[in-house]
């Protein structure tokens, strides 16, 4: 069987899974800035992480220098009623990707989540803080992390992030814009605190990591890193900023989590400490409200 392989001496071959998701599409939008890499964006019809046989077949026919796993079962509430599907995509498929990376001597960047924590902290979470997921989504994402660490002692970076939004797909920003145009008032939770992450900023950080001296060492210890935009806000603050920057007139009332019950338990506090990723890869991370402005501007351009 022929194996497609672009060697490091020609171009670094990068596979991006979850190509139709927010982060996958954000990576696709910036690849022209990184001509030293050859990108392959795999969609579900080519690489279905819900089907172990699909993963096996794909890596029998293709080989890469770097795998960036952006795919995930991110429907937090649905995960409570679809635990087997969430476990397959967030855990078992990740385990299989790590095994393929090891077999082909590829490096892996895997995206994880703040939901591995219980949300009871009083200070930003560091990478070595105790994990205690509160639901199926968080547990399956943690299981994925643990599989990567067990299989790949070297050459993997696990990036935990939070509150991801973008121009693409379904997310909080686009939902608020739609509801703000349709309704005169909204109730939004104020007692869940974290930091929004603009997917484009995360995509840029991933590419800066991929091109860094540290990442391109022959062997480096597998690491967990935290990434979100800078600053802190609640969902209430976030929605207020969205409406103010979009000049949408919608009255927002602050409510408590208990007033808006959901199948999955959300962390009350999920601010991530980003000192490690900034120091290791010399990253400058934008303030969340500045990135929100950039995203809203991009959304306006889409509509033109």
User: Vertex 164, ends 267 and 129: CA angle to 5°?
Assistant: 45
Q: Which residues contact 66 (CB under 8 A, 6 or more apart)?
A: 12, 13, 14, 15, 106, 107, 108, 109, 210
> Helices 93-103 and 136-151 sit at what angle, rounded to 10 degrees?
20
**DSSP type of residue 92:** I
**pLDDT tier at 303 (50, 70, 90 boundaries)?**
low
Helix, coil or strand: residue 217 = coil
**Residue ranges per structural domain of the chain:** 12-171+195-231+271-286
**Does the structure show a pLDDT above 80 at 58?**
yes
pTM score, whole prediction: 0.95
Query: What's the rounded Cα separation, in Å, for the pair 98 and 93?
Result: 9
Catalytic residue among 137, 165, 168, 236: 137
At the fourth CATH level, the homologous superfamily of domain 12-171+195-231+271-286 is NAD(P)-binding Rossmann-like Domain (3.40.50.720)
pLDDT digits (tens, 9 = 90+) for 219-276: 999 999 999 999 999 999 999 999 999 999 999 999 999 999 899 999 999 999 999 9
Query: Does the annotation mark 260 as catalytic?
Result: no
H helix or E strand, kind and range, residue 137: helix 136-151
């Amino acid at each position: 069987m022929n194996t497609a392989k672009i060697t490091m001496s020609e171009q670094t071959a990068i596979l991006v899974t979850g190509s139709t998701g927010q982060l996958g599409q954000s990576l696709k939008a910036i690849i022209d800035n990184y001509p030293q890499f050859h990108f392959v964006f795999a969609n579900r019809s080519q690489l279905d992480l819900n089907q172990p046989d699909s993963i096996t077949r794909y890596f029998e026919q293709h080989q890469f220098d770097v795998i960036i796993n952006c795919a995930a079962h991110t429907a937090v509430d649905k995960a409570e009623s679809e635990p087997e599907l969430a476990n397959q995509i967030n855990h078992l498929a990740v385990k299989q990707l790590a095994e393929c990376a090891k077999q082909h001597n590829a490096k892996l960047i895997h995206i994880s989540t703040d939901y591995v924590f219980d949300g009871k902290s009083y200070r930003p979470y560091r990478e070595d803080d105790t994990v205690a997921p509160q639901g199926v989504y968080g547990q399956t994402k943690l299981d994925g992390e643990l599989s990567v660490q067990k299989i790949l002692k070297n050459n993997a970076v696990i990036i935990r992030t939070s509150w991801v939004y973008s121009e693409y797909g379904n997310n909080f920003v686009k939902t608020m814009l739609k509801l703000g145009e349709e309704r005169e008032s909204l109730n939004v939770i104020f007692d869940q605190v974290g930091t929004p992450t603009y997917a484009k900023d995360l995509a840029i950080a991933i590419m800066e990591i991929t091109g860094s001296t540290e990442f391109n060492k022959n062997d480096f210890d597998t690491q967990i890193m935290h990434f979100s935009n800078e600053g802190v806000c609640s969902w209430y603050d976030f929605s207020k900023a969205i409406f103010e920057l979009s000049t949408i007139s919608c009255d927002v009332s602050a409510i408590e989590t208990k007033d808006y019950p959901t199948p999955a338990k959300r962390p009350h506090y999920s601010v991530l400490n980003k000192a490690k990723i900034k120091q290791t890869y010399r990253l400058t991370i934008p303030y969340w409200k500045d990135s929100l402005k950039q995203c809203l501007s991009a959304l306006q351009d889409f509509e033109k």
